[in-house]
């Protein structure tokens, strides 16, 4: 028997095996070109020094429990902290690789409603787009934060709540979502008093849940007491 038959698998071989087993990317050539441009751009800046690069992972992760996946482990994350960290690093001069889960919070959009394109903007008769007056303040604030060079970034999650003492925060997430929508129903869209509830549920609830609940509210099938 060859002595190399039972040689330990190196990290490099594991990485190679992972990508070889994955489905091929449809736009692999375009991704490869952009990746090379990113590496070249950050390998050397104008002063001859390499730029600082940081990788931020944001949003929940899913881990399959079997090869032909039926069951999996999923975790809670709205991506709020990852997007806030990305904003901070960009404004500190870093180049950022932002790995995120689809549907989670994006940098510089944390203060906007769940669907800012549909909720914050309206079309006019001449086919132009303008900000809806009811969302003018939050849009203005988001733009200001995006352009501000030295912002104060607060990394916040929902505070501990005696009503939900266990590690599983599913009910906590659902309750905070309801509290937010009850607040805006009573005080109006964009009411400052409701901002804290928005931060709470966005820091607790996965993006997929929020999207589903928003659809259910629109269809009148939401299971909670709004």
Residue 187 lies inside a defined structural domain of this protein: yes
Question: What percentage of the chain has pLDDT greater than the value 90?
Answer: 2
Q: Is residue 115 part of a domain?
A: no
Dump pLDDT digits (tens) for 3-46: 455 556 677 888 787 777 777 777 788 888 888 888 888 887 66
* 151: in domain: no
Q: Does residue 198 sit within a domain?
A: yes
Domain span at residue 180 reads: 157-226
**Does residue 224 lie within any of the structural domains?**
yes
Q: Would you say residue 151 has pLDDT above 50?
A: no
Strand duo 72-74 + 53-58: pairing: unpaired
Q: 107-143: per-residue pLDDT in tens?
A: 877 766 666 656 677 777 666 777 777 777 777 777 6
Task: Collect all residues with Cβ–Cβ distance below 8 Å to 212 and sequence separation of at least 6.
Answer: none
Domain count, the chain: 1
Contact at 8 Å (CB) between 163 and 145?
no
Tell me, yes or no, whether 121 lies in a domain. no
CATH number at residue 217: 1.10.10.140
Report yes or no on 221 lying in a domain: yes
Determine, yes or no, domain membership for 125.
Answer: no
């Amino acid at each position: 028997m060859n002595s190399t038959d039972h040689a330990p698998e190196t990290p490099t071989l594991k990485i190679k095996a992972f990508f070889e087993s994955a489905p091929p990317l449809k736009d692999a050539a375009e991704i490869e070109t952009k990746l090379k441009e990113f590496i070249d751009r950050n390998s050397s800046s104008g002063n001859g020094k390499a730029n600082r690069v940081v990788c931020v992972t944001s949003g929940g992760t899913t881990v399959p429990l079997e090869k032909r996946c039926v069951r999996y482990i999923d975790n809670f994350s709205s991506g709020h902290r990852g997007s806030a960290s990305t904003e901070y690093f960009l404004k500190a001069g870093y180049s950022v690789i932002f790995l995120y889960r689809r549907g989670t919070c994006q940098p510089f959009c944390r203060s906007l409603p769940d669907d800012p394109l549909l909720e914050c903007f309206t079309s006019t008769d001449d086919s132009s787009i303008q900000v809806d007056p009811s969302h003018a303040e939050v849009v203005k604030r988001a733009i200001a934060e995006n352009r501000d060079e030295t912002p104060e970034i607060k990394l916040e999650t929902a505070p501990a709540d005696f009503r939900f003492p266990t590690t599983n925060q599913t009910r906590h997430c659902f309750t905070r979502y309801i509290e937010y929508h009850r607040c805006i129903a009573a005080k109006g869209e964009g009411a400052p008093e409701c901002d804290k509830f928005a931060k709470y549920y966005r820091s607790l609830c996965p993006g997929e849940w929020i999207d589903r609940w928003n659809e259910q509210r629109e269809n009148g099938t939401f299971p909670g007491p709004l």
